[in-house]
Amino acid sequence: MSVKVRFAPSPTGKLHVGNVRTALVNWLFAKGQGGSFVLRIDDTDLARSTQEFEDGIETDLTWLGLVWDERYNQSKRFDRYEEAAARLKASGRLYACYETSEELDRRRKVQLSRGLPPIYDRAALELTEAEKAAYEAEGRRPHWRFKLEGKRVAWEDLARGHAEVDTASMSDPVLIREDGLFLYTLPSVVDDIDMDITHIIRGEDHVTNTGAQIEIFEALDAKVPGFAHMPLLVGADGAALSKRLGSLSISDMRDQGYEPIAITSHLGKIGTSDNLEIAASVEALG
Ligand code: GLU
């Protein structure tokens, strides 16, 4: 199977050099092997996503020469996420929880005061049908958590080498909020399966997610793709670059007169010991 990767920004802010470095590494990895590059707009959060940011992402990537072979919006794929959620519910891996955030907060404080890790205690798994019906009658709506196996999930990371996450040390992740909103975790796995993504290349802020997501790939009987987690770019103060940090946004750099090839050449060399040279084309960076 030929290589297929995706760049999956949320249209909730402008692209900055950190996001674009992830896009560039994905693009070079695919194009260097005759593979394809997918642009996936992660817009499940309809309240925070805007058309303006989505258009900005397309303008920036096109300007940088990072053209995509396929393009998807998560907001058009809710039926697929519903199907996957139904499967996970049927197999007992996705379970309804009725705690309010105040209740969860209180429990976490008690755990911490006893020197215990603040992990969700799975009390909802003990609820009877009558108790659930009583919550519903009170007007509560469930949020849905994925039941982790609680094991060492290991993979050979293409950037970090052997990697492991112990899912026993994590709370079961909430996949669906009480208002029905799908959080990022499940849609991403469903898309990676449906779009035949062979490698997931993203920032190392996703390492823990990967532990849970590998369990979700397995729970959906899918092949687990390869993973590479890249170190994040940080500012001079050592803090992660934020999407809301305007100064290093691609659109601002364009307005300041930077050439696209100067930006991609620089980002292509960050993290290597190679001398910085301005490449003749984005392809030449590979
Ligand atoms: N929308 C996610 C993000 O921007 C995508 C992460 C991923 O590549 O899986 O963090």
What stretch of H or E contains 162?
A: strand 161-166
**Residue 279 sits in the same domain as residue 199:** yes
Contacts of residue 101, Cβ cutoff 8 Å, sequence gap at least 6: none
**Residue 54 sits in the same domain as residue 130:** no
Retrieve residue 237's tokens. 């103060």
Tens of pLDDT, residues 112-143: 999 999 999 999 999 999 999 999 999 999 99
- % of the chain beyond a pLDDT of 70: 98
Residue 262, in any domain of the structure: yes
| Domains: count for the chain | 2
pLDDT given at position 246? 57
The span from the CA of 251 to the CA of 59, in Å, is 9
Dist. CA 21 → ligand 1 center (Å): 13
pTM: 0.94
**Residue of 224, 223, 222, 215 lying closest to 94 (CA atoms):** 215
Q: How confident is the model at residue 238 (pLDDT cuts 50, 70, 90)?
A: confident
Compare 32 and 276 and report the one with higher pLDDT. Answer: 32
Tell me which amino acid residue 228 is.
A
**Residue 58 sits in the same domain as residue 191:** yes
Compare 142 and 276 and report the one with higher pLDDT. Answer: 142
- % of the chain beyond a pLDDT of 90: 87
At 68, give phi and psi (nearest 5°): -105, 155
Tens of pLDDT, residues 32-85: 999 999 999 999 999 999 999 999 999 999 999 999 999 999 999 999 999 999
Residue 31, in any domain of the structure: yes
Boundary (domain end) residue, out of 137, 154, 176: 176
Ligand 1 nearest-atom number relative to CA 192: 9
Average pLDDT, rounded, for the chain:
94
The span from the CA of 170 to the CA of 185, in Å, is 14
Q: Ligand 1 site: residues with CB under 6 angstroms?
A: 8-10, 42, 184, 188, 202, 206
